[in-house]
Amino acid sequence: MVLGTTSGAGKSWLTTALCRHYARQGLRVAPFKAQNMSNNARVVAATNTPGTPPPHNHPNAGEIGSAQYFQALAARAIPDVRMNPLLLKPERDTHSQVVLLGQVNAALTAMPWRERSLHVWPHIVAALDALRAENDIVVIEGAGSPAEINLSQSDIVNMRVATYCNAACLLVTDIDRGGAFAHLYGTWALLPPDERSLIKGFVLNKFRGDASLLAPAPRMLQDLTGIPVVATLPLWRQHGLPEEDGVFDERTVSHGLPGAVTTTVAVIAYPHISNLDEFQPLKNIPGLRLLWARSPAELQSLQPTDWVILPGSKQTSSDLAWLRSQGLDAAVCRHAAQQGSVLGICGGLQMLGEALIDPHGIDGNAAGLGLLPLVTVFASNKTVRHTRTQFANTMHGPWRTLAATPVSGYEIHHGQTQPHAAMEQAGDLAHPVLPSALGWQNATGNVLGIYLHGLFEDAAVLQALFAHQLHAPVPTLDTVFDGLADFLAQHMHADVLASLTHAPLPSGR
């Protein structure tokens, strides 16, 4: 199990690297996180049939956190809902939608959060036990810090999980933030003795400089706790793994690969942004600068050849109100009026239309930006599915290179969008570009709205959009996972990695 002294310490990263490391030893590996709080979610199989891929265009699918989805791929396993049995999707500062085993659970959503643990723990245990029975190793990720003593009585994700399965635990801290040794010691000190005994090693993550200068602190910490520092991992910004929490900061993504910037892609970073991890592949496009925009000033220098993206949102009407309060609505519309490229994905598509209508109290009513003659009505049931489809051969404007391009991705949305009937009768038409009401363009072609997430994770789409900028194949996720495992093996001794599991290595290893 990978625990952290804080959120953002590197738990997800290290868990992913461990999954690939053990998978490369020939072991059957699965990731697990009992509870994840994130608006970055992926569609996976509701149940796992060995050797069978997740269903496409099939309603029997569920949601898990993106981190566990990528960890499953790193483990060379088929992602399924048991790997993240409880997903909390924040809608407001004090409210989250609760997803249990892949499905929205209205009763748990309405329940005070401290009362949920009694109801969800049996599901968590059952999921973990099933994964343990089917695999040689389960690599578990904790959440936040295990020393949040105000939460210990209702804990279902950290030390309760660790003690239940007697997990060998690593405790990782972000040394780049400062105070790393105090974080490690303080976390250890706040745990009761039986839980401390499960911690087998400390990991210093994101270190910059000469590691020899850390002495004598690691030895002093071991003298105090009896636990060794088993790895000091250098800071590595360009590892290629999508970020799980929050927007990438300027240091990690804005400038992309070295070289002259020819295209800027500005993603509007509203408060309830979701599925931001799908933009990770854009970091690997030569000449492309990825910008997270929170103010009109950040869009002022855009050229018509640059893009503005309205990404997914967990609370579309609220983020639309925020957009207007910042003056970003006018900036986006101005870029569109100058024939600049505008792309809306899922919630972003809904914002591009004329109106949001919410008869069931799902999201909220709102007027849209009016860049596409569409109306969205929020349904009580959520659409959650994998989708394989193809762009129309009538694609025009700056998106014309996508014409007839096959595409695969996933849908997670309550909204159902259709052309505005009165505007359609008046001749103001939205041009459908994907079947089954999944995408439209405006008349001039520069504004595109789609429901499909994962557009930039599709190799055919990247080739169609950026063939003129790609001098080599964009690194695949598999390449990224191998890089993580190589990095871990370089900085953590093989004996330490072997000691963390009781699973026997395959014969000959």
Query: Is the same domain home to 269 and 392?
Result: yes
Which pLDDT score is estimated for 255? 42
- Position 309, amino acid: I
467 exposure class (CB count in 10 Å sphere: 0-12, 13-18, 19+) = exposed
The residue written with tokens 């003795």 in the block is: 193
pLDDT (average), residues 364-370? 96
Task: Provide DSSP, 70-96.
Answer: HHHHHTT---BGGGSSEEEEEEETTEE
What pLDDT, on the 0 to 100 scale, is given for residue 241?
83
Task: Please tell me the predicted confidence (pLDDT) of residue 474.
Answer: 73
Does 215 reside within a domain?
Answer: yes
Same domain, 296 and 428: yes
Beta bridge partners of 412: 384
| 254: confidence class by pLDDT, cuts 50, 70, 90 | very low
In a domain, 508, yes or no: no
Residue 244 lies in a domain: no
Both 439 and 313 in one domain: the answer is yes
| Chain Cα centroid distance, residue 504 | 32
Write out the DSSP string of 172-233. EEEGGGS-HHHHHHHHHHHS-HHHHTTEEEEEEEEE-S-GGGGTTHHHHHHHHHS--EEEEE
Q: What is the CATH number of the domain that holds 355?
A: 3.40.50.880
**Mind listing the pLDDT tens digit for each residue in 178-218?**
999 999 999 999 999 999 999 999 999 999 988 889 999 99
Q: How confident is the model at residue 425 (pLDDT cuts 50, 70, 90)?
A: confident
The pair phi, psi for residue 33, each rounded to 5°, is -140, 115
Q: Are residues 373 and 459 in the same domain?
A: yes
Q: What share of the chain in percent tops pLDDT 70? A: 92
In a domain, 120, yes or no: yes
Same domain, 288 and 143: no
Q: Is the pLDDT of residue 49 over 50?
A: no
Place 481 in a pLDDT band, splitting at 50, 70 and 90: very high
pLDDT band per the 50, 70, 90 thresholds, residue 502: low
When mean pLDDT is compared across 4-13, 37-46, 67-76, the lowest value belongs to: 37-46
Question: Do both 316 and 461 map to the same domain?
Answer: yes
Quick one: 51 and 113 in the same domain? yes
Beta-carbon-side half-sphere exposure of residue 280 (alpha carbons within 13 Å)? 23
CATH code for the domain in which residue 193 is found: 3.40.50.300
In-domain check, residue 507: no
- Three-class SS state of 495: helix
End-to-end CA distance of the chain: give it in Å, rounded.
Answer: 23
Of 373 and 428, the structure prediction assigns the larger pLDDT to 373
504 lies in a domain? no
As a whole number, the mean pLDDT across the chain is 90
Q: What is the CA radius of gyration of the chain?
A: 23
Which residues have a catalytic role annotated?
346, 453
State the total domains in the chain: 2
Distance CA 413, CA 195 (A): 41
Q: Specify the pLDDT at position 447.
A: 97
> CA-to-CA distance for 476 and 480, rounded, in angstroms?
7
245 belongs to a structural domain: no
Identify the band that residue 284 occupies on the pLDDT scale cut at 50, 70 and 90. confident
Q: Which long-range contacts (CB under 8 A, 24 or more apart) does 497-506 make?
A: 497/18, 497/21, 499/168, 499/200, 500/18, 500/168, 500/170, 500/200, 500/201, 501/22, 501/136, 501/137, 501/168, 503/22, 503/27, 503/136, 503/137, 504/136, 505/25, 505/26, 505/27, 506/25, 506/26, 506/27
Strands (E), 261-373: 263-268, 273-274, 288-293, 307-310, 312-313, 341-345, 355-357, 366-367
Q: What is the pLDDT of residues 321-359, one digit of tens each?
A: 999 999 999 999 999 999 999 999 999 999 999 999 999
Let me know whether 196 and 289 are in one domain: no
Q: Which helix (H) or strand (E) holds 432?
A: strand 431-434
The two three-digit tokens of residue 175, written as one number: 């040394």
Structure token digits, residue 261? 């910037």
Q: CA of 323: how far to CAs of 235, 307, 310, 327, 508, in Å?
A: 34, 17, 10, 6, 59
Same domain? 299 vs 256: yes
Do 183 and 3 form a contact (C-beta atoms < 8 A)? Answer: no
Q: What are phi and psi of 166, to 5 degrees?
A: 55, 50
| Identity of the residue numbered 296 | P
User: Do 263 and 220 sit in the same domain of this protein?
Assistant: no
pLDDT score recorded for residue 236: 85
Q: Is residue 509 part of a domain?
A: no
Structure tokens at 32: 């697990």
> What is the domain extent for residue 351?
250-466
Same domain, 320 and 228: no
* Per-residue confidence (pLDDT) for residue 361, from 0 to 100: 93
Query: Quick one: 348 and 375 in the same domain?
Result: yes
What per-residue string of b and e applies to 246-262 under the rule 16 or more CB within 10 Å gives b? ebbeeeebeebeeeeee
